[in-house]
Amino acid sequence: MAEQTMAGRALALPQSIGRRALWQRRHLFERLQPYLYLLPVIITLGIWIYWPLVRTVYLSFFQWNLLPTTPMIYVGWENYRRILGLPEMQQAIRNTVVYTLGIMPLSVIIPLIVALFTDNIGKRWRNLYRGLIFIPMLIAPVVVSIIWRWLLNPTVGIVNYALTGGTFAEPINFFRGETIAIWTIIGITGWKLVGFSTLIFSAAITNINRDYIEAASIDGANYRQIVRSIILPLLSPTVLLLVMLSVLLVSQWSFAYINVLTQGGPLGATTNVYYILYTYGFRTFAIGWSSAAAVILFITFGLLAAGLLSLINRYSFYDS
Amino acid sequence: MRARRRVSTTSTLTGHLLLVILIVIAIFPVYWMVATSFKAANALFQISLWPVNPTSENYRFVWENLPFGLMLGNTVAMASLQMISQLLTALLAAYAFARWKFWGSRLIFALIALTWLVPFQVTMIPNYVLLSRLGWLNTLYGLVIPHIASAFSVLLLFQNIKAFPTELIDSSRIDGATSWGTLWRVVIPNLRSPLAALGILLFISAWNEYFWPLLVMTKPERSVIQIGLQMFLTEQGDLWGPLMAAATMATLPIFVLYVILQRQVIDSFVKSGLR
């Protein structure tokens, strides 16, 4: 008996060590698991977003023309100094502000008004309207550009036909007129967005607790008062969200229309910061300038986004 | 009571009117594209609201003069691959965040979410350089691989997984299922509708993608439909009939998807608040 147990112990000892090592290994695997699941996303974003960000900052201190055979020349802060002094860059920055503010009526104000007026429309109608109003959002930017180039054509387009009463005498040149061109691009960008924003506001209004409105109307408040003191405050996070989307994305979204329809012209009148980045990078191959501009742009928009996000957080306490 | 009812009727009418105006503005340009595509070349400049003698000659012209079928095929391949890979990577990541508490999870989550704020134009040059070093310019890899993960998909799926009852995952864990088994047998079946919605959204945005293909694809026969359209526009900008036919054909697959899955498409776009 004693011998047996001794033998058993002698055998059991290494076995328990083995089991323990196995257990530890499994424990390690357990702990590593979440990282393994995250690996594809981490690797992709690391290679295609974070690493290029670092590279862009690096390239912004060099002079280079994208050819692998030409050497990169270190120039320090020269690129930053140069691009901020360029008149075309200043024009692009001014235009970016015009784009951002000019889109607000189409991406925020009109959709908000329409959503407020259509809140009490019956469900069946609302679904039909929703389905139709959403269509521009689905259409590719290139197709949108082609459609509007045809509609707004100065010699055969239906818009000028209507404006000139069918004569095409003194048509409006929507894409080449120096003051109107940027508004044409803003209008096209807004055309694609307006239905989408309306749907977001409608969804937000539908989500408001009906009890508040009921209580206010029992207390004798009229619809305008309800809108002003209940609906609008509760909608403020949604308004801020759409403002943020407009600020961050509209200049990016207008890129396709600018590239297909005006190439930034006439005389740089429709160029914005994103478009000028592209032309420096892939038309004139001024990689240093493009990278320096990208760094400035990224920091500016990052700060704007941080500010707007903190505003959204401050206002969302209404919604409990 | 009576007065209030009358007020609400007029405001309902105003609502209908506003919406009808907005819808006409939204729909007419699209209608005009389709209508023009069926007009014969000599009927193009007679302004009539619908094609009087509809013809398919514009469509025939496009098929004969452009590698249209090839480009459609490329676009379908690109959009499907991008959709499937992004769904998969996002699902794995969202599941990891929802199931485990682990060291660094908040930091990793923040780093993923922050990429949403990086505009494409800021990273385009280094990405282009990397792609050309890898020899992936003018290839499907070059189009798809930089886009196989996105912050947006991870965040959206994370919200959805977090929203369903924890008992589901917990009970499966007690039953001794591995995390991988739980993912396929418990999580995915309960996540079908958000996955479908996200999938549609990703497919449509990949289909409509313009900027990255513009940089990566320079050969028309290898290219996707959006770039093909733009080349056609620069070469034959005044052939309005064929141009509208090509634009209509490039949009048709999206319209078909939309007609079949309208409710899901709208919901996914509205929930995303993006693109």
Residues B227 and B107 in one domain: yes
Residues B16 and B104 in one domain: no
A297/B122 CB distance under 8 A? yes
Using CA coordinates, name the residue in chain A closest to B131: A48
Q: Which amino acid is at B124?
A: M
Distance CA B264, CA B42 (A): 42
Residues B53 and B84 in one domain: no
Q: What is the pLDDT of residue B19?
A: 86
| Domain residue ranges in chain A | 2-48, 73-318
CB pairs under 8 A between A and B: 257
Interface with A, mutate which of B111, B114, B123, B153 (most A CBs under 10 A): B123
Name, in order, each residue with C-beta under 8 angstroms of A114's C-beta and a sequence gap of 6 or more. A198, A201, B15, B18, B19, B22
Q: What is the pLDDT of residues A72-91, one digit of tens each?
A: 889 989 889 999 889 999 99
Secondary structure class of A63 (helix, strand, coil) = strand
Q: How many separate domains does chain B show?
A: 2
Q: At B147, phi and psi to the nearest 5?
A: -115, 25
Of B29, B121, B210, the CB nearest to A142: B210
Phi-psi region of B103 (alpha: psi -120 to 50; beta: other; left: phi over 0): beta
Nearest CA to CA, how far is B166 from chain A (Å)? 17
A52/B126 CB distance under 8 A? yes
B23/A291 CB distance under 8 A? no
One pLDDT digit (tens) per residue for chain B, 275 residues = 344 444 567 777 888 888 889 899 999 999 999 998 998 877 776 667 777 778 888 899 888 888 888 889 999 999 999 999 999 999 999 999 988 888 999 999 999 988 988 888 899 999 999 999 999 988 888 999 999 999 989 998 998 888 777 777 777 777 777 888 888 888 888 888 888 888 888 999 999 999 899 989 887 777 899 998 888 888 877 888 899 999 999 999 999 988 888 777 777 767 665 43
Using CA coordinates, name the residue in chain B closest to A150: B240
Using CA coordinates, name the residue in chain A closest to B256: A138
Q: What is the pLDDT of residue A29?
A: 80
Q: What is the pLDDT of residue B28?
A: 94
B146/A132 CB distance under 8 A? no
B129/A44 CB distance under 8 A? no
Of B11, B244, B270, the CB nearest to A200: B270
Mean pLDDT of A29-51: 92
Nearest CA to CA, how far is B121 from chain A (Å)? 7
Mean pLDDT of A163-172: 82
Distance CA A221, CA B166 (A): 43
On chain A, the residues whose CB falls within 8 A of the CB of B1 are: none
Nearest CA to CA, how far is B80 from chain A (Å)? 17
Q: What is the pLDDT of residue A15?
A: 54
Using CA coordinates, name the residue in chain A closest to B149: A41
Of A37, A47, A121, the CB nearest to B16: A121
Residues B115 and B164 in one domain: yes
Q: At A3, phi and psi to the nearest 5?
A: -60, -45
The pair of three-digit structure tokens given for residue B130, joined into one six-digit string: 């990397």
Please count the CA atoms within 13 angstroms of the CA of A268 that sit on its side-chain side. 15
Q: Quick check: A250 pLDDT over 80?
A: yes
> To the nearest 10°, the Cα dihedral for B45, B51, B56, B58?
20
Can you tell me which residue has the tokens 């403020």?
A: A236
Residues forming a β-bridge with A74:
A62
Residues B77 and B46 in one domain: no
Write the secondary structure of B45-105 as one string of H (helix), E (strand) and C (coil): CCCCCCCCCCCCHHHHHHHHHCCHHHHHHHHHHHHHHHHHHHHHHHHHHHHHHHHCCCCCH
Nearest CA to CA, how far is B45 from chain A (Å)? 7
Of B112, B128, B266, the CB nearest to A45: B112
Mean pLDDT of A231-250: 86
What pLDDT band is residue A25 in, cutting at 50, 70 and 90?
A: confident
Residues B185 and B242 in one domain: yes
A38/B93 CB distance under 8 A? yes
Of A146, A241, A278, the CB nearest to B233: A146
Using CA coordinates, name the residue in chain A closest to B20: A129
ipTM higher than threshold 0.90? no
What pLDDT band is residue A27 in, cutting at 50, 70 and 90?
A: confident
Helix (H) or strand (E) holding B200: helix B192-208
Q: Quick check: A5 pLDDT over 50?
A: no
Residues B14 and B109 in one domain: no
Residues B51 and B82 in one domain: no
Q: Determine the CATH number of domain A73-318.
A: 1.10.3720.10
Of B154, B229, B247, the CB nearest to A41: B154
Q: Quick check: A276 pLDDT over 80?
A: yes
Interface with A, mutate which of B45, B125, B202 (most A CBs under 10 A): B125
Distance CA A257, CA A39 (A): 37
Residues B178 and B53 in one domain: no
On chain A, the residues whose CB falls within 8 A of the CB of B105 are: 34
Cis peptide bond N-terminal to A266, omega within 30 = yes
Distance CA A240, CA A246 (A): 10
On chain B, the residues whose CB falls within 8 A of the CB of A41 are: 89-90, 92-93, 112, 149, 154
Among residues A222, A52, A216, the alpha carbon closest in space to that of B121 is found at A52
Domain enclosing residue B27, as ranges: 2-57
Interface with A, mutate which of B122, B215, B244 (most A CBs under 10 A): B122
On chain B, the residues whose CB falls within 8 A of the CB of A294 are: 121-122, 125
Residues B71 and B203 in one domain: yes
Of B7, B117, B243, the CB nearest to A146: B243
The pair of three-digit structure tokens given for residue A128, joined into one six-digit string: 């039909």
Q: What is the pLDDT of residues A117-138, one digit of tens each?
A: 887 777 788 778 888 888 998 9
Nearest CA to CA, how far is B46 from chain A (Å)? 9
Instruction: Report the CATH number at residue B263.
Output: 1.10.3720.10
Please count the CA atoms within 13 angstroms of the CA of B186 that sit on its side-chain side. 21
